[in-house]
Amino acid sequence: MNRIVNEFVNYVVSDNCPQNDKAKVKKAIQDKFSLILDRSVFYCKHFAVRISYTKTKSFSNTVLSLSNLQKYDHIPFFVVLVSGVDNNKVFLANTTFLSKISHSSQQLSMTNIKGSFNGSDIIRTYHNLENNAKNFEKLFAFHQGFTWEDNLQRLVDATSDIVPTGKKFEITSEIRNKIYKSVERAQKFIESENFSVLNKDLDSRVKKCSDSILVASRIENVNIRGRLIEALVTSSDEERKVLMQKLAREESNLPVYDTKNGLGDYHVKFSNGDTYTDIKTKVVYLGSNPKAYNIDKFLETMAEENTVFFIYLIGIDETGIMNTVLCSVYHDELTETTVKQFHWAGRNSRGVTQFVGETLDKILKQKNFTNTITIQKAKAFIDSLIE
In sequence order, what DSSP letters do the residues of 276-302 get, joined into one string?
Answer: EEEEEEEETTS----EEEEHHHHHHHH
Statement: residue 49 has pLDDT above 50: yes
Output the pLDDT for position 103: 67
Give the side-chain half-sphere CA count within 13 A for 365: 10
Name the β-bridge partners of 125.
130
| Percent of the chain topping pLDDT 70 | 91
Identify the weakest region by mean pLDDT among 213-217, 270-274, 367-371.
213-217
Handedness of CA 327, 328, 331, 336 (dihedral sign): positive
More confident residue, 153 or 196: 196
pLDDT in tens, 109-148: 888 888 999 999 999 999 889 999 999 999 999 999 888 9
Q: Are the C-beta atoms of 311 and 327 separated by less than 8 Å?
A: yes
Which residues does 56 contact at the CB level (< 8 Å), separation at least 6? Answer: 83, 84, 85
| Domains in the chain: boundaries | 3-158, 173-386
Distance between CA atoms of residues 104 and 302, nearest Å: 40
Statement: residue 358 has pLDDT above 90: yes
Identify the weakest region by mean pLDDT among 81-90, 198-207, 226-235, 291-300.
226-235
Statement: residue 37 has pLDDT above 80: yes
Handedness of CA 327, 359, 322, 288 (dihedral sign): positive
Output the pLDDT for position 220: 73
Output the pLDDT for position 328: 98
Q: Count CB atoms within 10 A of the CB of residue 300.
A: 17
**3-class SS of residue 309:** strand
**3-class SS of residue 307:** strand
**3-class SS of residue 374:** coil
Phi, psi of 291 (to 5 degrees): -60, 140
Q: Are the C-beta atoms of 41 and 64 separated by less than 8 Å?
A: yes
Q: Running DSSP on this structure, what letter comes out for residue 112?
A: B
pTM of the model: 0.74
Distance between CA atoms of residues 206 and 226, nearest Å: 14
Secondary element (H or E) of residue 136: helix 136-143
Question: Longest Cα pair distance anywhere in the chain, in angstroms?
Answer: 70
In terms of Cβ atoms closer than 10 Å to its own Cβ (0-12, 13-18, 19+), residue 163 is exposed
